[in-house]
C-alpha cells in the first residue's frame, strides 16, 4: 500500500487523497497545465470541441494519460470559475482525472466570491477551504507544495514574511527536508514579457523561502498562455545554476493562445502557438520533462535535471 504524508490538511483530506495515492516507486509521472477550459458561452466553444486556437480542453485532456498525478495550474475554468461551468466543461474533459488531480487556484476562479465554484468542485482535493487554497504532500520520493499566488485576493499580508501562507511554507519546508522538492502555483514569479505583468512580486517572500530553506528544484506555473522553460533562477531573477529554481510555465491547457513575449534573462525555450501539457517523471535524485502537444503539432521540449 502506498503512503503519502500530508501536511496541515486534516484527517478527512488525508483519507480522501489516500484513495488516489500514487505509487512510491523510484519514478512518479505527473502531467500538468493551466488555463484550461473555456466557458460554454465562448463563441469558439463549438460543442466543446473548440477551434484551432480556442477551447482545446478536450484535446489537451486526451494527452494526460498515462499519469500518476495531474497538476491543474489555475484558471482551470473560465471565465469566472462558476460551478456550473466546471461541471459542464472541465468535468467531462480534465475532470476524468479528478481522482488524481491536485489543483491550485487562479485569478479567474475568483470570479465567484471566495472562489466558491473552485472549492465546491474540487472539494477536499483543493486543500483547506477559503481563504487558503494551499497544501503540501509527498509524491513518490518528492515533496510537493501547492500554493495560492492570488495574494491580493487573500487577507492582507498572507504572502508576506510572517503571513499565513509564508509561515506555512517556511514550516513545511523545515519539517520536510526532502532531497527533491517541487512547488506549483498559478501566476509565475518570473516569466518573459513586460515586467509589470510577469513578475509576481507578492510571491517573493515565498520564492526566497523555497531557495533558502527548501532548496527547491522545480516550480511549475500557468497564467501566461504560452509554454516557457527558464533556467534556474535565484531570488532576483538572475540565472543561478547552483541554488536557483528551474521554472516551467505551462499556460497551454486549452483556453486560448497569447502573443509571443519578449524573452527575459534565463529564458531557454518559448512557444505561444501549441496547446499541450508537460509530462514530468520525478525520479530519485532528479527529474525529466517533456512537453506533449496536441495531435498535429510539431513543437516539443524535453530534458532532465538533478536535485540540489
pLDDT tens by residue, 109-120: 999 999 999 999
Q: Is the pLDDT of residue 17 over 60?
A: no
Q: Is the pLDDT of residue 29 over 60?
A: yes
pLDDT of residue 20: 38
pLDDT of residue 198: 59
Q: Is the pLDDT of residue 281 over 80?
A: yes
| Confidence band for 258, pLDDT divided at 50, 70 and 90 | confident
Q: What digits encode the pLDDT tens for the residues 225-240?
A: 999 999 999 999 999 9
Q: Is the pLDDT of residue 302 over 70?
A: yes
| Confidence band for 260, pLDDT divided at 50, 70 and 90 | confident
Q: What percent of the chain has pLDDT over 70?
A: 89
Coil, strand or helix at 301: strand
The CATH number covering residue 291 comes to 3.60.21.10
Instruction: Give the domain range for residue 35.
Output: 6-306
Q: What digits encode the pLDDT tens for the residues 81-103?
A: 999 999 999 999 999 999 999 99
> Could you tell me whether strands 245-250 and 218-221 are parallel, antiparallel, or unpaired per DSSP bridges?
parallel
Q: Is residue 195 part of a domain?
A: yes
DSSP letter, residue 164: H
Q: Is residue 223 part of a domain?
A: yes
| Confidence band for 59, pLDDT divided at 50, 70 and 90 | very high
Q: What digits encode the pLDDT tens for the residues 190-204?
A: 999 866 555 689 999
Q: Is residue 54 part of a domain?
A: yes
pLDDT of residue 296: 95
Q: What predicted TM-score, i.e. pTM, was given to this entire model? A: 0.91
Q: What digits encode the pLDDT tens for the residues 41-58?
A: 999 999 999 999 999 999
For residue 294, the Cα-to-chain-centroid distance in whole angstroms is: 19
**Rounded average pLDDT over 144-155:** 96
Alpha-carbon gap, residue 268 to 228, rounded angstroms = 7
Q: Is residue 181 part of a domain?
A: yes
Q: Is residue 1 part of a domain?
A: no
| Confidence band for 135, pLDDT divided at 50, 70 and 90 | very high
The H or E element spanning position 119 is helix 116-122
Q: Is the pLDDT of residue 11 over 90?
A: no
Higher pLDDT, 152 or 17: 152
Q: Which residue in the block uniquely carries the three cell numbers 505527473? A: 30
Q: Is residue 53 part of a domain?
A: yes
Q: Is residue 80 part of a domain?
A: yes
Q: How many CB atoms lie within 10 A of CB 122?
A: 25
As a whole number, the mean pLDDT across the chain is 91
Most confident region among 5-9, 14-18, 112-116 by mean pLDDT: 112-116
Q: Is residue 212 part of a domain?
A: yes
The number of folded domains in the chain is 1
Alpha-carbon gap, residue 4 to 17, rounded angstroms = 9
Amino acid at each position: 500500500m502506498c503512503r503519502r504524508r500530508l501536511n496541515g490538511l486534516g484527517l478527512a483530506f488525508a483519507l480522501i487523497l489516500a484513495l488516489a495515492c500514487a505509487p512510491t516507486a523510484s519514478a512518479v509521472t505527473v502531467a500538468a497545465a493551466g488555463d484550461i477550459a473555456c466557458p460554454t458561452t465562448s463563441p469558439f466553444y463549438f460543442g466543446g470541441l473548440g477551434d484551432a486556437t480556442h477551447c482545446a480542453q478536450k484535446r489537451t485532456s486526451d494527452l494526460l494519460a498515462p499519469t500518476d498525478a495531474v497538476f491543474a495550474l489555475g484558471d482551470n475554468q473560465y471565465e469566472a470559475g462558476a460551478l456550473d461551468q466546471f461541471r459542464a466543461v472541465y468535468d467531462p474533459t480534465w475532470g476524468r482525472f479528478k481522482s488524481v488531480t491536485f489543483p491550485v487556484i487562479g485569478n479567474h476562479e475568483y470570479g465567484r466570491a471566495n472562489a466558491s465554484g473552485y472549492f465546491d468542485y474540487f472539494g477536499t482535493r483543493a486543500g483547506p477551504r477559503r481563504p487558503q487554497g494551499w497544501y503540501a504532500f509527498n509524491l513518490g520520493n518528492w515533496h510537493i507544495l501547492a500554493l495560492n499566488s492570488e495574494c491580493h485576493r487573500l487577507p492582507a499580508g498572507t504572502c508576506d514574511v510572517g503571513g499565513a501562507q509564508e509561515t506555512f511554507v517556511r514550516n513545511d519546508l523545515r519539517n520536510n527536508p526532502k532531497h527533491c522538492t517541487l512547488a506549483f502555483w498559478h501566476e509565475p514569479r518570473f516569466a518573459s514579457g513586460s515586467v509589470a505583468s510577469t513578475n509576481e512580486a507578492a510571491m517573493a517572500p515565498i520564492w526566497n523561502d523555497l531557495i533558502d530553506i527548501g532548496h527547491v528544484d522545480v516550480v511549475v506555473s500557468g497564467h501566461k498562455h504560452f509554454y516557457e522553460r527558464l533556467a534556474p533562477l535565484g531570488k532576483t531573477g538572475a540565472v543561478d545554476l547552483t541554488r536557483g529554481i528551474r521554472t516551467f510555465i505551462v499556460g497551454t491547457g486549452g483556453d486560448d493562445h497569447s502573443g509571443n513575449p519578449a524573452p527575459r534573462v534565463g529564458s531557454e525555450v518559448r512557444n505561444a502557438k501549441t496547446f499541450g501539457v508537460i509530462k514530468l517523471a520525478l525520479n530519485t535524485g532528479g527529474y525529466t520533462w517533456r512537453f506533449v502537444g496536441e495531435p498535429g503539432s510539431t513543437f516539443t521540449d524535453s530534458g532532465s535535471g538533478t536535485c540540489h
